[in-house]
Amino acid sequence: MNDYDRGIVPSSIGETKYLEKSPFIQGFLAGLKGALIGAPTGAAIQAMRGKNPLLGAVIGGLGAGFASGLAKATAQKLENVSEEEALRYHVEQMKAREPFVFMPPPASFGRLFTRMHSGEHGYAH
């Protein structure tokens, strides 16, 4: 099923969920926030030391941005893996109770059974 078959609302929700759960996106946003905090802090520290504030802003922004981005991306990845494992557990429980839960609907098999009973392709004698 492609996105065009799903409709605009489910597709939009899916895109939003992708942005919320993407480790790269979440790490980038956290890194940007860290850089916005680290740059003025680094500039202020360098200015107080009598050094170049621009260099301090670059160092502070890159350092804080990288550290916070990496931390958030790693945390998001671990959260995603945890959710995947929970889903696997629940799927196994469902399959144990209802073995055919993930089978296509019976109507999907109609043509296959018709061909088998009519003797096409050598299935039935």
Q: Using CA atoms in the order 12, 18, 19, 24, what is the torsion angle rounded to 10 degrees? A: -160
Sign for the CA dihedral angle at 24, 25, 27, 28 comes to positive
Are the CB atoms for 83 and 91 separated by under 8 Å?
no
The larger pLDDT score, comparing residue 125 to residue 12, is at: 12
Q: What is the residue extent of each domain of the chain?
A: 3-122
**Average pLDDT of 55-75?**
95
Question: Would you say the pTM of this structure is higher than 0.75?
Answer: no
Are the CB atoms for 110 and 116 separated by under 8 Å?
no
Q: Assign 109 a pLDDT band (cuts: 50, 70, 90).
A: confident
DSSP 2: -
Are the CB atoms for 38 and 9 separated by under 8 Å?
no
DSSP 105: P
**Average pLDDT of 51-63?**
95
**Average pLDDT of 82-88?**
96
What's the CA gap between 114 and 121, in Å, rounded?
Answer: 11
The larger pLDDT score, comparing residue 2 to residue 48, is at: 48
Average pLDDT over the chain, rounded to whole? Answer: 86
Instruction: Assess whether pLDDT exceeds 70 at residue 116.
Output: no
- Summarize pLDDT for 75-84 with one digit per residue, the tens: 999 999 999 9
Tell me if residue 102 falls in helix, strand or coil. Answer: coil
- Summarize pLDDT for 19-39 with one digit per residue, the tens: 899 999 999 999 999 999 999
